[in-house]
Structure 1
Amino acid sequence: MVAALWGGRLAESRVQANYDLISAAGEYVQVKYLANPLSDWTDEHTVRSIPGVDWYALVVYEAFAVTGHLAFPPDLTEIC
């Protein structure tokens, strides 16, 4: 899903370290997800910078439906 949104292509190996896809602009993207029910969220997710990765994409699921897609740059200073 994220590769389609970014117009990118998946990494050659599904188990390689650091990135999951390469965007249409040639940027390396790590993709993670957070899944929770609609009420009483029980899980959380820590966003982190990864050396050599240009974007950290997070897909949010609520009650098995995608409710959001967030993308974070490697420098989180302005966000945090």
Structure 2
Amino acid sequence: MWLNSFLSGLGIGMLAPTIAHIVTKFTSLPMLLGFKSLGLYVIAALINLLVVRYLYRKGFEQRARGVILITFVLAMLLIFTQKLPLN
């Protein structure tokens, strides 16, 4: 069933980080609001965690697992490409 598929979870999980990336790279909104570029990515990860909670409560386990995986992968990608300190 496509409603509870892992791939649909990956797609849903990409929405918030993609929007955060577009806003960070192509607008001056983060500077106007006083955010660092990392701030919008953290907000996107928090949104994904809320989505995961909702999906698990509604019984869409496979979709939630896709959102968790893409959130983790994008967080690792951000850490390694931006050379962010972990301390």
- Common fold: TM-score over 0.5: no
Taking structure 1 as the reference length, what is the TM-score of the superposition? Answer: 0.31
Considering Cα pairs closer than 8 Å and 6+ residues apart, tell me whether 1 or 2 has the greater RCO: 2
Give the alignment's TM-score, normalised by structure 2. Answer: 0.29
More helix by share: 2
Give the structure with the higher percent strand.
1
